[in-house]
Structure 1
Amino acid sequence: MIEIIKDKKILRITPFQRENTPDIPESDWIQVYVEYMLPEIKIQYQASFTAGELNLLKNNITGLYMNLVKGKIANEIVFDSMENQLNLIFSPSLRKGVLLTLTLRPENSAESIIVSDCLGMDESYFPALLSGLNEIINWPS
């Protein structure tokens, strides 16, 4: 599970099911609950990701985290999920941190509401974020 808490904002991504693809684990679909809570609103919906797209995100975030720790310039990471229900942009900031811009689309239709917001994160968030991604990627069948 991934849980990012910043002030009164909470982003939580919890796995609940995995659909195996025989002989191609990177193509397994992992179903999750996405929750985003603000003081004014609470959004909850189901989304799906492939293990491969989550592995790529984990590798990119690992590189970003290492650059932050070493004080090097980090590259922006853009994650657009295959089903376009969750989009994340990790933009390095000048203060040894990252601005996480998220876009949530509970439904895949054109009439779905779209929620966009930003969270500031420093390097202390990354170990738990990477651990949570690893847990989701390795979620059992």
Structure 2
Amino acid sequence: MFEIKNGDTLFRLSFIERIEEPEDRRLDLIMCWLEITGCGINLRYQCELTIFDLESLKDKITHFYSALNKTGRPKPVSFAPRVPAFTCELNIFQESDYVEFTFSATPDVYEGWKLTGSITIDQSYFPALIQGIESILTN
């Protein structure tokens, strides 16, 4: 599970099931449950990710965290999966040691609306975030 929580605000991506592609496991689909709560909002919906999407997210977060430890000022990271049910960005928050996790969620691309928000986190989140993506990938 990939989870960021700060106060009443929550962004959680949980594994539901893997739809296997018999010809090529790299084409498996990973069905996840996305939950976003905070400021009176309670949004929950299913989203479809590919293994490539999840590996890309894991690599981007890993590189951001590594650069954060080395230089303290990593370049911003953006992630958008093949089916844009959600997107996210990581960036240093206003010349501090905190990181801003900014996201947008689009439960139904055809409905034409999306929720945007951000959560401020510190470096201690990164090992659990990386492990959370890995746990989704290995289910």
User: TM-score, normalising length from structure 1?
Assistant: 0.91
SS of match in other structure, 1:96: coil
| Conserved? CA contact 1:71–1:96, under 8 Å | no
CA distance in 1, matches of 2:10, 2:41: 11
Aligned residue for 2:104? 103
Aligned residue for 1:66? 66
Superposed, 1:14-33 pairs within 5 Å as: 14-33=14-33
SS of match in other structure, 1:32: strand
Aligned residue for 2:79? 79
**Percent identity among equivalent residues?**
25
SS of match in other structure, 1:22: coil
CA distance in 2, matches of 1:25, 1:70: 35
Superposed, 1:1-141 pairs within 5 Å as: 1-93=1-93, 94-109=95-110, 111-139=111-139
| Conserved? CA contact 1:64–1:75, under 8 Å | yes
What RMSD in Å do the two structures reach over aligned CA positions? 1.4
Q: 1:116, CA displacement in angstroms? A: 0.2
Q: What amino acid is the match of 2:32? A: V
CA distance in 2, matches of 1:89, 1:82: 16
- CA distance 1:55–1:63, change in 2 (3 Å): same
| Conserved? CA contact 1:11–1:34, under 8 Å | yes
User: TM-score, normalising length from structure 2?
Assistant: 0.92
Query: Which aligned segments of 4 or more residues in structure 1 are displaced greater than 4 angstroms?
Result: none
CA distance in 2, matches of 1:26, 1:49: 12
Q: 1:52, CA displacement in angstroms? A: 1.0
CA distance in 1, matches of 2:137, 2:98: 25
- Deviations along 1:70-122, one digit per CA (max 9) or x if unpaired, are 2343121111111111100111232123211100011121x243100011111
Which structure 2 residue ranges, 5 or more long, are not aligned? none
| Conserved? CA contact 2:72–2:97, under 8 Å | no
| Conserved? CA contact 1:3–1:12, under 8 Å | yes
